[in-house]
Amino acid sequence: MSEQDINVEEPVADTPEKETVVTENQPDEEQVRLKKLKKKALKRYLREEDLKPYQAELIQMQQYLEESKTRMIILFEGRDASGKGGTIRRVTRYMNEKHYRIVALGKPTEHEKTQWFFQKYIRQFPRGGEVVLFDRSWY
């Protein structure tokens, strides 16, 4: 091609832009998002329903502990963000709040560092008829 064949001043033909063709059968993004949310909510509901028999058994166990003045310790151990807090909430959801405590002990103080490590846990042990849930343990 020579320079004479190309006309610089002549406008270039517009290239057609790609158009998105939406058919009636094709769901839009909002519909897809809502469908995913509904699925997620249904799964959460079914999980909650699966827990109900166990939660009912926990209530019966707690009533027995109250009547017999028996104590119980439940330990939750795991890495950070492993779901300990969420599990504790699910376990205690229907329990009588007067008869359980959740204990999450922080870093030991300078005074506690000079003592036996287990001592700060012993102070938190349950009284008769009480359940104590430890978020992390002495293990």
- Mean pLDDT over 41-67 rounds to 87
Domain contains 70:
yes
pTM above 0.85, yes or no: no
* Helical axes 84-92 vs 29-68, angle rounded to 10°: 60
pLDDT at 40: 82
Q: pLDDT of 68-90, one tens digit each?
A: 999 999 999 888 888 888 989 98
pLDDT at 3: 54
- The whole domain housing 91 covers 44-139
Extract long-range pairs of 29-36: CB within 8 Å, 24+ residues apart: none
Q: Which residue has the higher pLDDT, 83 or 47?
A: 83
Domain contains 19:
no
How many domains in the chain?
A: 1
Q: Domain holding 73: CATH number?
A: 3.40.50.300
